[in-house]
Structures are given as C-alpha cells and as structure tokens.
Amino acid sequence: MAPGPLRIGIAGLGTVGAGTVRVLRANAGLIETRAGRAVVVTAVSARDRDRSRGIDVSGLRWHADPLRLASDPEVDVVVELIGGAEGTARALVEAALAQRRPVVTANKALIAIHGAELAAMAERAGVALAFEAAVAGGIPVIKALREGLAADRLQRVGGILNGTCNYILTQMRETGRDFAAVLAEAQALGYAEADPSTDVDGIDAAHKLAILAALAFGRPVEFGSVHVEGIRRIGAADIAFATELGYRIKLLGIARRSEQGVETRVHPCLVPAAAPIAQVEGVFNAVVAEGEFVGRLMLEGRGAGAGPTATAVVGDLIDIARGSLVPAWGASSGALSQLFSVPMSECRGGYYLRLTVRDQPGVIAEITAVLRDCGVSLKSMLQHGQADPAPDDASQGAVPIVLVTHETREASMQEAVGRIAALAVVLDRPTMIRIEPG
C-alpha cells in the first residue's frame, strides 16, 4: 500500500512561505513521483490572516499561534519560515523537535547560532532537522558538502554569500557611483532592506559561512568565531584602483583549514579579475569548495528570492517524505571534531591600502619606514597626480596613494595601519582591503 501524504505545517507566509506553497501546488505531480508520496500543506500560521499573498489559504488549518503547529495532529512536518535566531522561531523549532516532528527551516541565523543544540535535539528525537534553504537560496550547497563530498577532506569553503552586497559592488564598478547612491537604488529595487545592516555589515554572510564551515570541517557550528566586516567603507575610488590593478572587489566568506585549525572570516576582498569568482555579478551567489581529491568546485546561482529558496525548502521535504534521515552536520553530535578556531590576527595574505596624504617630499619614506618596522613588505604602489588642496593648508594638496603588500600576518598589517594612520602626513582614515587569490 502506498504511504499517505506527508502533511506540512508552514509558519510564516512571507516571500518564501508563499513561494513554498506555490511550488508544492504547481509541481504536485512531479513532487509526488520523486517523493513516493504526496506532499501537501495542511496548516499555516502568519501574523495577518486577511493579507493577500497571491495564494489560496481558505482550505488550510490556520493557527494564530505558530507554536500550535508543533502539536497539530494534522501536521507531520513543521516548516519554520519566520526568521530570527530567538523568539518564536526558536521556540517553534524546539517545540516541534520535542514532539518528534521533523523540521525544515530557511533560518540561517537560528542554525548558525543554535544549530549545535538543535541538531542534538533532532538526534535524540530521531527526526530530521533540514536547512538547505538557509544558505545560498536555490544552490544545493548543503547537500553537496554534507553528502556529495562526504568522502573527501575539504580544505576550504566559502565564496559570495550575500546577493545584496554583490549587487552593490557590481553596480559601483559598472557605474562609478559610490556606496550610498547604489545602496539607495538597491533598496528601491527591493534588493536591500529598509535597514540593510544585516546584509551590508556582513552579518548575513557570516551566518551562512558558519554553517558551511561546520559542514565542511565536521565540527560544531561556531558563529562567534567568525571575523565579520562589511562593505560600507568601500568607496568608488577603491573600485577604480582595484580595476587599475587588475582586481575586482567582492565580499567573500572564507573558511580554511590549516595545521593551526580553522579560520572563518567575512570581509571585502580584492580578487583577480580573471578568477571565476570575480565573474559572479549582480544578485548571484557562488560557493567554492576545495578538497584533497575532488579539487576545486564552484556552484553559482540565485541566493535569495521566492522561487530559488522555496525550491530548496521543498527539496528537504522530498527527502523527509522518502524517509531519508541524515545527521544535520553530516555526523552525530558526539562524532564532530573540536578543531581550533584560528584568530583573525594569525591569518596571512596580501593587502591593499589606500591613503590620502599630503603632497610633500618625504611622505612615502615615512610610510614605508612604518611598513618596514612592522615587518610588512611592499609589493607595488600607485600614486596619481595632485588632487584638491587640504582644507587645513591650501599650500599642500591631498593626493591618494595605494600600496599593495606581499603576504604578511594580519597582526603585523593592523599594527602598520594603526601607526600609519597616526602620521601627520596622513589626512584621512586608511582603507585596508585583503587580497585573495580567487
């Protein structure tokens, strides 16, 4: 006898929630064929019952309190699409797991911060905790790392994990406009929120990187160990200088295994213009993984939006309908490693440094002396002609210079930048961007 339908309760009917209902209904036959049983929505919960969402919810059980989904006898799987690391979203997931109900979520913040304890709860309950939609929208990167690459020892994972930042940086390069103008346009187009801080300050990408690092290196998720910087201080001048030097600027998430442990960091990077990651433009995301045997892989696609993210949610539902039960982090909680988190100060790489300095003799000598004393080796320098007069001294112009270093230790570079910023000949706060091979 064929199994009965898998009954779904969805909490949150925003863009992704409504999209999930549409995908389940539009592709019902295809989904049933691939899942071996029908997958149907039976109950929903959202703030405003009367709001138009472009879907018919009249035949569904409606719960004003999302937590009621966890005990609804007509719900087999709870789909949490509320968002946020705390509050109702966390309470619902914990309640569902306590009731031995499988959970599917797109909540990157919840998984990045509480994923270790939630996975342990799911293991004790013997049910799935699935979160493919939490990272990179429709790109199936969770399954790729946890299952497709399970036989390999990964050395690095990361990439472009936030479409809003990638759109802004792309537009800055293509139009020559500065950050504030492009951000305003992104908000008008719906690519950025009214409060864009989670995106442009790197927090969204850091949530995703913490998840990827845990999967790639088989250790408990550690959001607190991720170094996070955003793109607010990237100016049109930096975009232009990067282009002149043969680079493009991208906000990257980077997780790398070394003999010391695992480094996890999110920050703007200069990457060679010819590198595949540099060609990923606009709102697209790309995830790169490198393994001992598989080599380098890159998955690219839309990292957000109703269709891509809903497709990932439904993919998890199909796995549950089939009876698939894979540990959330690829291994049981007790089998995960305790790899050391390498502090940012110990990371190494090349650096781009943009300075605004007085146009007078001896300036370069002062700056290079600081670099020398801090153990930083200079690779190249760009200096363009005299610019506007300095506001405090009309007899001396202010000129931009760009320095590119050889590989050095982060702590050494930070010390050098601090000392350079204190020089009387430096007129503005230095801009430092790390250089990655791509």
> Packing angle between helix 163-175 and helix 179-189, nearest 10 degrees?
130
For Cα atoms 145, 159, 208, give the angle at the middle one, nearest 5 degrees: 65
The residues annotated with a catalytic role in the active site are 208
d(C-alpha 44, C-alpha 57), whole Å: 8
Task: Tell me how long the chain is.
Answer: 438
d(C-alpha 238, C-alpha 169), whole Å: 11
Q: Phi/psi at 353 (nearest 5 deg)?
A: -135, 120
Neighbouring residues of 323: CB distance < 8 A, sequence distance ≥ 6: none
| Dihedral angle of Cα 254, 334, 314, 157, to the nearest 10 degrees | 10
CA-wise closest residue to 72 among 9, 13, 4: 9
